[in-house]
Amino acid sequence: MSKNDGSQTATDRGKAMTTPTSQSTVSTGHRAVNGVLRFLESRTFVVFFILLTIVVVFLTYRYYGFSYDETYAQERGMRLWRYYFHGHTLSFMKTNFYGMFPDFVAVALQHLIPAMSYWSRHLVSALFGVVGIVYVYKIGSAFFGRLTGSLAMVFLTVNPMWNGYMFINMKDIPFATFMVAGFYYCMRAALGRYTSRSIWVGVAVSVGLLATAKVIGVVILGSFCFVALGAYLIFDPETRLDKALAVRIAKIIGAVVIGCIVMLALFWPQIYLYTPKQLMTAILAFTDFDYNGRVILNGITYHAQTGPRIYMLTYLTICMPIFLLIAVIAGGVLTPIRRHPMAVACVGIIVLYIVYQAVTHATVYGGYRHFTFLIPLAMLVAAWAAAKMLGDRRPEVVRVAGVAVLLLGTAWTLVGTYRVFPYQYSFYNVLVGGLKGAENSYEVDVWRTAPTYYLNRLATTARLTGERPKVHDCSTRLRKKIYPEIDFVDRDDAQYLITNRRSCTKYPDVPTISTLSREGVVLSELHERQPASE
């Protein structure tokens, strides 16, 4: 590993600071900081943290509402299930532009454990998010050092931009996870940082699954690796453009081809029946998706295809907790100074795709969700900057203050996440006044998950009383399957009416009996129509 990697552990730092000639001069503050860092770098902490995250997932996944988009995703998984177990055929369809692996896993879990019903989708999606957290740790540890890996793992976990979407977004979270995993394996293979041939299995499986999420993902991953290899060739003296590198790249390409062929055959088999035109449609659909809805930015509503070019940059900035945003900016400033090759790569990739969206005016909507795959890289940059702040060459007061800021900032981020639970994907930072300040100016509960809270209440009451309520709701189209105890009817025939932020927004003529809000912002309301007096 090159000297640039900054992989010195807290144990190494402690030894360096406690040599016979300097042991008496090591202060209590430095020893305390080194103790904290040794714990953060330890395998015990990493394993405990991941297990704790998994426990939280199992305890909370049923709190998250069903999104408007999950109908299509469920249908994708069911089509592949019927293909394998009922002999049904698959064809070219718009909703099949995504591969079906994550949805197929959720459907399989529904069949294996019927009691989980459709909630299995949120459990599976969240576990994919945990896998993404693991690979962020692996990238940080392999290319920066164990402290950076641990901090990146923590930062990504507490970031509402990740933990909010990872329960409800079966498209973008698995895609981002496969992207991070593929980046990890491809870069280790390209740089020769491996000791086992299993690295090629990792390359094949991760990139193959990435292709089954979105075919364009293979191209995006290629750009990640191109930027990263360029950074290592320029800034790492141990990386050379020679025959050995060319051979490793050729092996990576071979593993990618094999992985894509196998994984697509398993989880997107109809792609082999596409015409060339259909194949290009499936590939290019995600470079500029044909979406005819609206977007909102700074209180102004635009058509999605004519929105401001700063749309994505704005949402990435205002939706990230301020502590993490400051750390990312600090990492960005530090990068041209320290010129760590992987830091240069991460910052370069983030800038590349933000500029790409602005220059090409590619259609984006629903906030930052289409660029979720950049968030892990941003957390790596933030973690690297934090690790540098805690370096052993810093003055004692700086290191002690740095640990305090790190702990308080992470705790404050977690508190902010909890305040909007389980609607973290609607989190906004202080730059726009939080969620309250963002109301009516930016996207709030764009996925319409809040009404699930009231549907759960009505369904529970129906099971207890045996009476079927008549409900009008405009959120998830899976509602009839998820809640067979409820009769979903037109507005005029409903006893209960549920609002959301995107449609069915107000019923001023029907009394409100309950309001669901976060930080003073109403996300959904339950209205009950009073029986007509005789």
> What pLDDT, in 10s, does the model give residues 128-150?
999 999 999 999 999 999 999 99
Q: Is the pLDDT of residue 432 over 60?
A: yes
Distance CA 210, CA 99 (A): 9
- DSSP structural state of residue 390: T
Distance CA 3, CA 8 (A): 9
**pLDDT for res 76:** 84
Average pLDDT, the chain: 88
Q: Cα 418 to the chain's mean position, in Å?
A: 17
Q: Is the pLDDT of residue 202 over 60?
A: yes
**pLDDT for res 532:** 59
**pLDDT for res 13:** 52
Q: What percent of the chain has pLDDT over 90?
A: 62
User: With contact defined as beta carbons under 8 Å apart, do 153 and 51 qualify?
Assistant: no
SS3 362: coil
- DSSP structural state of residue 279: H
**pLDDT for res 287:** 67
SS3 514: strand
- Mean pLDDT is lowest, of 12-21, 114-123, 418-427, 431-440, for 12-21
SS3 433: coil
Residues in CB range of 30: below 8 A, 6 or more apart = 17, 392, 396, 399
The closest of 518, 525, 294, 326 to 420, measured between CA atoms, is: 518
Distance CA 436, CA 331 (A): 29
Task: Name the token pair of 353.
Answer: 């795709």
Q: Is the pLDDT of residue 234 over 60?
A: yes
Task: Name the token pair of 246.
Answer: 């060319």
Compare 22 and 58 and report the one with higher pLDDT. 58
Instruction: Kindly state the average pLDDT of the residues 190-201.
Output: 93
Task: Name the token pair of 398.
Answer: 């700086």
* The total number of residues written for the chain in this structure: 534
Confidence of residue 6 (pLDDT cuts 50, 70, 90): very low
> What pLDDT, in 10s, does the model give residues 242-282?
999 999 999 999 999 999 999 999 988 888 888 888 788 77
Q: Cα 59 to the chain's mean position, in Å?
A: 19
Amino acid letter at 394? R
**pLDDT for res 79:** 86
**pLDDT for res 171:** 86
- DSSP structural state of residue 86: S
Distance CA 491, CA 471 (A): 8
Handedness of CA 142, 148, 149, 150 (dihedral sign): positive
SS3 508: coil
Asked if the peptide bond before residue 102 counts as cis, ω within 30 degrees of 0, the response is no
pTM: 0.91
**Helical H runs in 197-340?**
198-213, 216-235, 243-267, 276-284, 311-318, 322-338
Instruction: Kindly state the average pLDDT of the residues 180-196.
Output: 95
- DSSP structural state of residue 65: P
> What pLDDT, in 10s, does the model give residues 285-337?
766 666 777 888 888 988 877 878 899 999 999 999 999 999 999 999 999 99
Task: Name the token pair of 214.
Answer: 């979105």
Residues in CB range of 56: below 8 A, 6 or more apart = none
**pLDDT for res 33:** 84
Q: What percent of the chain has pLDDT over 70?
A: 92
SS3 472: strand
Confidence of residue 17 (pLDDT cuts 50, 70, 90): very low
The closest of 180, 172, 150 to 390, measured between CA atoms, is: 150
Task: Name the token pair of 164.
Answer: 């909010």
Name residue 527's beta-bridge partners.
Answer: 497, 512
87: left (phi over 0), alpha (psi -120 to 50) or beta: left
Distance CA 211, CA 486 (A): 39
Distance CA 474, CA 458 (A): 15
Confidence of residue 92 (pLDDT cuts 50, 70, 90): low
Q: Cα 282 to the chain's mean position, in Å?
A: 22
Confidence of residue 5 (pLDDT cuts 50, 70, 90): very low
Distance CA 519, CA 502 (A): 19
